């Protein structure tokens, strides 16, 4: 039940954030400080999410999983080759699955 409440509250918050943008006075965008900070926040958060989820450990805070890291390496390669979003995701999963089938961590 607690989980349901948390999910509903977060969903409501996410909706209000979207609505605030559509309904707010547009000159908010003109504040250079706000704009600089707000465009930088997703960069910091996404980089943190990548690092934490890539190195997520089982039973310990961080650990190295060769198959998963190999999958992410393949994703980087796909991105460098300008592959579309879908291809990048599939390549990451397929490489990780392949490495695991071969016995890599």
Give, as ranges, the residues between 26 and 65 that touch other proteins (CB under 8 A): 26, 28-29, 32-33, 35-56, 61-62, 65
In this chain, which of 11, 66, 77, 81 binds other proteins, going by CB under 8 A?
11
77 near other proteins, judged by CB under 8 A: no
What minimum distance in Å lies between the beta carbon of 89 and other proteins? 5
C-alpha torsion sign, points 68, 73, 79, 83? negative
Q: Using alpha carbons only, give the angle 57, 72, 77 rounded to the nearest 5 degrees.
A: 165
Beta carbons of 75 and 94 less than 8 angstroms apart: no
Q: How far is the CB of 19 from other proteins (least distance, A)?
A: 4
Residue 74 CA, chain-centre distance (Å), reads: 17
Both structure tokens of 12: 């409501």
The verdict on 79 binding other proteins (CB under 8 A) reads yes
Does 72 contact other proteins by CB under 8 A?
A: yes
């Amino acid at each position: 039940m607690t989980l349901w409440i948390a999910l509903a509250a977060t969903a409501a918050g996410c909706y209000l954030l979207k609505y605030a943008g559509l309904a707010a006075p547009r000159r908010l965008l003109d504040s250079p400080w706000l704009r600089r900070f707000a465009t930088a926040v997703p960069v910091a958060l996404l980089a943190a999410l990548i690092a934490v989820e890539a190195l997520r450990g089982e039973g310990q805070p961080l650990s190295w999983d060769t198959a998963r890291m190999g999958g992410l390496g393949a994703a980087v390669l796909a991105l460098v080759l300008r592959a579309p979003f879908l291809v990048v995701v599939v390549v990451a999963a397929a490489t990780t699955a392949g490495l695991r089938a071969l016995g890599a961590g």
